[in-house]
Amino acid sequence: MSLKVIVIGLVSIWASILANKNIAVYHDGIRPIMGEYIEGRMRKSELIGIAFAMSFGLVIGFGIPFSLTSQVILIHSILLGTDVIGIASPNAPVAAVLGGAYGVGLTLGLEWVVKFFESLPINIMESMMLIGDPIVISFSALPALAVGYQFGAKKGILTLAISGLARVIIAKINPIVISGSEVSISPDGIALGIGMILLMGFAINASNNKENAKRHLENSNITLFTNNANNIRKNLIPLLIMGALISLGASLHFIGGSPMDVTFLSQGKVSEAATIAFIKIIGYLPLVVTTGLVSGVWASGGICDWLFGLGFISTPVIAPFLGAAGMVAEVFGVKYLATFLDKYPEIRQSGDHIRTAMTQILEVALLVGGMVAANNMAPTFGYFVVAGLYILNIIAGAPIVKMAVGPVAAVLVGILANIFVFFNLINV
C-alpha cells in the first residue's frame, strides 16, 4: 500500500471520529447546526440529512473535479465526506472503519472514475464541476445577509455593496507581486472578510449603546462563547492530532486546501501554494471562529488553509509538529477571542443570523449550480428536470432536503442524457 493511501486513510479515519464525537467538522455550514444537535434541539436524522445535502454537491461538483484534474486531492473531497460519515455513524469505531474505507477508496478510485466518465458519450463529471461555481461566489455574500437579518435591509445592502466593490477591486489588481512572485488573492475571500468585519463592527456598535449594555448586564451570567471555547479546549489532543495529519499530507503534496493550492502544487509551484494558504486566513478567520464559538465544535481542517501552508513550507518530518503546534495555537487563541465576544452580546447573536443566511445561500447556490450543470449536459432539458423536481419536492413536503435537490437532479439528468444518447434521442 502506497504512502499516499496510508496518509489519506489516516486523515479520513481521524476526521470521521472527530465528527462522530462532535469535536470537529469541516463544513462551515454544518458547524453551527451541530450546536443545535448537541443541545437537543435537532434530531440526528435531521442533522444527517442536512449534512448530506450540504456536502454532497460540494464533494461531487467541487472537490472531486479539482482533485481529478490536478492529481492533488482537494481536502474538500475528503473532509466533507468524513463529516457525513462521522455524523451518520452510530459510534466512533464504525466511523473510523467507514471513514478509512472512504479515504482509501477515494484515493484509489480517482483514476477509475476519470476513465469511466471519459468513456461516456456525455461526461457527467465535467458538468458537475459547474455546481461549485455559484457556491464559492455566493458564499462571500454571507455577511451581508447576516447584517440584513440582524440590523436591517439598509445596512445589509451597504455591506453587500462594500463587499462587492472590494471583490471587483481585488479581481482587477490581481495578480500582485509578493517576494518577486505573482500571487492571486481570492476576491471572494477578501469580500467575505470585509463583510465579516462590517458585521462585527455593527454588532460592537450596537452592543455599546445603553439599551444593549443594560441587557448585557442583566444577562452577564450568560457566557455562551466562553463556555464553547472551553469545550473546544477540552478536545485539544484530538484536534492537534488532526492538525499534524493535515500538515503531513500537505508536506507530501498529497492534499491541498483550495483549488488554487492544488493547481500550484500540480505545477510544482510550492511557494506560491503556501503563500495562497497563508493569505486566505485573512478572509476566512472570522467565519471559522464565529461558527466554532457558536457551536463549541471546531474546524477539522483548522482555520482556513494555513495548516496546509505550514506543511507546504516544511518537510514530512517537521510538518506534523508544525501542524500540531498550529492547531494548539488556534485552540488556545479562540479562548481570548471568546472573552472579547462575550463582552458584546450582539456579536454573540450574530451566530444565529450567520446560520440562517448560510442555509439560504446554499439552497440558492446549489439550485443554480444544479441547473447550470444539468443544462450543460442536456441543454433546455436540464433546466426542465431540475426546476420541475425542485417544485415537486416542495409540493411533496420536501422529502429531499432543498439543498440536495439541485445536485441530485443534475446527477439524474446526466444519467438520463447518456441513456438518451444510447437510444439516439439526443445528439452529443
pLDDT tens digits along 271-288? 778 877 876 675 567 667
384 has pLDDT over 80: yes
Q: Per the domain annotation, does 348 fall within a domain?
A: yes
Among candidate residues 312, 318, 311, 249, the one with its CA nearest the CA of residue 106 = 249
Give how many domains the chain has, as a whole number. 1
159 belongs to a structural domain: no
Residue 188 lies in a domain: no
Is there a domain that residue 196 lies in?
Answer: no
In the predicted model, is pLDDT for residue 6 greater than 90? yes
pLDDT tens per residue across span 186-206 = 787 788 778 888 988 898 888
- More confident: 284 or 110: 110
In this predicted structure, what is the pLDDT of residue 420?
A: 92
In this structure, is residue 207 part of a structural domain? no
Is 397 inside a domain boundary?
Answer: yes
Q: Is the pLDDT of residue 58 over 90?
A: no
Mean residue pLDDT across the chain: 83
Domain contains 153: no
Q: Is residue 110 part of a domain?
A: yes
The residue range of the domain holding 71 is: 3-146+220-422
